[in-house]
Amino acid sequence: MSAEPEARRRLADGFGRLIVLVYIVFAVSAGARAGYQVATKFSHAPLSFTLSAVAAAIYLVAAVAIIRGAARTALAAVGVELVGVVAVGALSFADPDWFPEPSVWSHFGSGYGYVPLVLPVAGLLYLLKRRREG
């Protein structure tokens, strides 16, 4: 048996458990909100609601990747998430007409207490630290 499966399990230990928990909570909350909005008023703000659904999917991918010990996939998902929240956050201030309804990432996640901005930074720092340790 190789040590690789054990290393994968360790990725979700300690602080990784908290990160996974937050990602799961955000995947469920953003996904439920986006699902409701897409089903009831998609034509009102299709970009916002689509971005919220994309955010939920990325949160889920990040959580599963960390749980499974897939560090590269987790790094990619969290990196895409950070780029998304920064780009959408900036764009939502620069041209608010694009976002008649907020998305999870609008205004850098202000509607979610800025957790969408802080989470990928914490996730990247954690994953990169674990990568250096391994």
Render each residue's pLDDT in the chain as its tens digit; 134 residues: 444 555 444 788 899 999 999 999 999 999 999 999 999 999 999 999 999 999 999 999 999 999 999 999 999 999 999 999 999 999 999 999 999 999 999 999 999 999 999 999 999 999 999 988 86
Q: Given this model, what pLDDT does residue 128 score?
A: 95
- Is the pTM value of this prediction over 0.85? yes
Q: Given this model, what pLDDT does residue 133 score?
A: 82
Angle between helices 115-133 and 71-94 (to 10 degrees): 150
Instruction: Give me the DSSP letters along 2-54.
Output: -SHHHHHHHTTSTHHHHHHHHHHHHHHHHHHHHHHHHHHHGGG-HHHHHHHHH
Question: Residue 125 has which token pair?
Answer: 């720092």
Q: Given this model, what pLDDT does residue 1 score?
A: 46
Q: Indicate the domain borders of the chain.
A: 4-133
